[in-house]
Amino acid sequence: MTKLHKAYIGGQWLTGNRGSFEVDDPATGESVAKVADVSLDQVEQAIDAANQAFESWRRLSAQERADGVLAWYDKVRENRQRLAEMITRESGKPIAEALSEVDYGASYLRWFAEQGVRAGGQTLPTLPGGRRPLTLKQPVGVVGVITPWNFPLAMIARKAAPALAAGCTLVIKPAAETPLTALLLAELAEQAGLPAGVINLIPGTDAAAIGKCLCTHSKVRKLSFTGSTAVGRVLMAQSAQKIQRLSLELGGNAPFLVFDDANLEAAVEGLIASKFRNSGQTCVCANRILVQRGIYDSFIARLKTRMASLTLGPGALPGADLGPLISDRAIARVESLVEQALEAGAVQTLGAGRVGEGSRYHSPTLLESVTPENPIWSQEIFGPVVSVTPFDSEEDGITLANHTEAGLASYLFSDSLSRAIRVAESLDYGMVGINEGIISSATAPFGGIKSSGLGREGGQEGMDEYLETKYLCLGGIG
């Protein structure tokens, strides 16, 4: 077993006490590697290593920590192609998207390295009696990180960069589908000179037990999780006993509103970018397309033409727009969602389902006449299926858009500035793309409301997630 297939704990590359597990290539279903499967003892070992490293890492100057994160950033940039090929290999996403994921992930490393040196407290106005109040910003401590398979690099970078810059240390559990990119990232951190124990990477298949340990262990002071709302609920319940700090980036059900006064070409392009990113497998993918009746027919006609032009193929194939879905289970789920939607009255006007028996490729599919009663309305599709509903007035559009438990991303297309502001203010979501289908950025706070989670990643808010504010009251000064 090579180093890049092992767990990385306390600066050591270790085989798994539970043996190993297979990672497959979604394009072919073939095994590409066997990776260490850690035991709970090894999770504890990683927590101890992170806890030990915390004492010295937190005491470095902010600039020294920033230099460490920047050195990691440089390594990621130097290995851009290698990382992208690894992402494509284990997640199936097209190589162009994988390259842009490396750039996206790296942007968090740079941005938070730069932000970390500015993360200070405040001196506040003098209190009665001459007391002087001030605040310190201190690192939270050891952070448990659980990341999903849809962005094997960027989701780690988005959590690790602010945590490290703030002075925290990490125990990272990557998704079992995509541990190889995470391991390469850990190796680059080692090469960049990040001290042993600052980053620990624990691949494993016993996700429930590892998650519980990261929620309940006394030495872990925070958990940051990106994944499904169902798992988020379990982690939150497990964290209640010790009031664990949490960042939860959970599922979305993004509405994509197209108003009569929208630029239709821009709206179609925005939808293609949002809906088909990673073959529809992101939490911020447009999920319910709401189209005002006056432009409905012309919008759908343009959309169909554009969808029919999308190319399916293995991610490594240059020019592929859509790769395979991540697993057999994922494609079976999408097939079943489409089937249920059709039974409930939706009409399929484009698409041919799964492409090739046993494959994980699903053709771009258009479902019209979807109503809020249709089961697909309340599901995060996570596949290349466009579900469309017409609406009449602006008010109807907003009501339909907000008719869900989720509150992560939303999108609206309109050339009326006043309407865009009005509607954006009325949408119950953490993020609103206005005439834009791709909204994620290291500089901006990414996150949701309602059942889509807690906390923000990116921007100053993303830094605050890893800092405690301590209030000092200085008396006797005169």
Q: How far is the C-alpha of 182 from the C-alpha of 119, rounded, in Å?
A: 27
Tokens at 321, concatenated: 């727009």
Residue closer to ligand SIN, measured from CB, 73 or 259: 73
Residue closer to ligand SIN, measured from CB, 25 or 101: 101
Least Cβ distance, residue 446 to ligand SIN (angstroms): 6
At how many degrees (to 10) do helices 179-191 and 80-91 cross?
160
- Contact predicate 116/101, CB 8 Å: no
Active-site annotation holder among 249, 380, 394, 465: 249
Residue closer to ligand SIN, measured from CB, 151 or 299: 151
Least Cβ distance, residue 404 to ligand SIN (angstroms): 17
- Contact predicate 462/164, CB 8 Å: no
Residue closer to ligand SIN, measured from CB, 281 or 374: 281
Least Cβ distance, residue 41 to ligand SIN (angstroms): 31
Active site residue 213: no
Active site residue 215: no
Least Cβ distance, residue 283 to ligand SIN (angstroms): 4
**47 by DSSP, 3-state: which?**
helix
> E strands, 356-427, where?
365-368, 385-391, 409-413
Query: Apex CA 195: angle with CA 12 and CA 207, to 5°?
Result: 55
φ, ψ (nearest 5 deg) of residue 20: -145, 165
Q: How far is the C-alpha of 134 from the C-alpha of 268, rounded, in Å?
A: 51
Active-site annotation holder among 168, 213, 215, 283: 283
Q: How far is the C-alpha of 440 from the C-alpha of 306, rounded, in Å?
A: 23
**Which is nearest to 226 in space by CA: 346, 309, 326, 144?**
144
Q: How far is the C-alpha of 52 from the C-alpha of 213, rounded, in Å?
A: 18
Residue closer to ligand SIN, measured from CB, 25 or 97: 97
> E strands, 174-271, where?
199-201, 220-226, 245-249, 254-258
Residue 431 has a CB neighbour count (10 Å cut-off) of 23
Least Cβ distance, residue 123 to ligand SIN (angstroms): 36
Task: Tell me which residues touch ligand SIN (CB under 6 A).
Answer: 150-151, 226, 249, 282-284, 440, 446
Residue closer to ligand SIN, measured from CB, 259 or 446: 446
**Which is nearest to 58 in space by CA: 136, 141, 159, 143?**
141
Least Cβ distance, residue 56 to ligand SIN (angstroms): 32
Strand partners of residue 312: 322
Contacts of 47 (CB under 8 A, 6+ apart): 142, 144, 171, 200, 213, 217, 219, 220
Least Cβ distance, residue 106 to ligand SIN (angstroms): 14
- Residues involved in catalysis: 249, 283
